[in-house]
Structure 1
Amino acid sequence: MTVPGSVDLEQEIKSWLTERLSAHLSRPQSEINTEVPLVEYGLDSVAALSLFGDIEEKFVLYLEPAVAWEHPTVTAMAAFLAQEQAASSSGSAG
């Protein structure tokens, strides 16, 4: 079952992740393909930690480092974060 608004949330997160990745990698957003694994962009451990810090701050989620390997692209990470946000929101509603 799809959560209402989850596709919009996923797209919003994907755009936000692309912008943050662009900043951390010092490359234009237009050069970031959301289907390419982040490691192929040369995302080093320092930039990855900074990106995860941004994610934790923005979404109030603590992420294990393995998440980057389990969801290696912007698209996969956005889908995961949208799911986590939906679960977090529905869990706090009760």
Structure 2
Amino acid sequence: MIQPLQKSILTRKAARARGRAASEKLADGARLYDLSRAVLIHSIIGQHPDWSEMQVREELKRRRNATRQVHEKEIYVNVSTDEFA
């Protein structure tokens, strides 16, 4: 019963997305990035209320780098320059 409802919702969302201009989609991406960044900052502050703004920024940077490493795993591979000599 839930599966047909999920498919219906996904179909409607996809139709709405296709109807939007590329500039709107790009602006949505920027807004979502800003929102996710704010949520993460508030999460860090909630976990470490005694931290300075600099400590919060460093933790934000650390977490974003850790997430990037997970998402980019095996995408980029170090190649020895000796192999091309």
Query: Would you tell me which structure has more helix in proportion to its own residues?
Result: 2
Greater RCO, 1 or 2 (C-alpha within 8 Å, sep 6+): 1
TM exceeds 0.5? Answer: no
Compute the TM-score of the two structures, normalised by the length of structure 1.
0.31
Larger Rg: 2
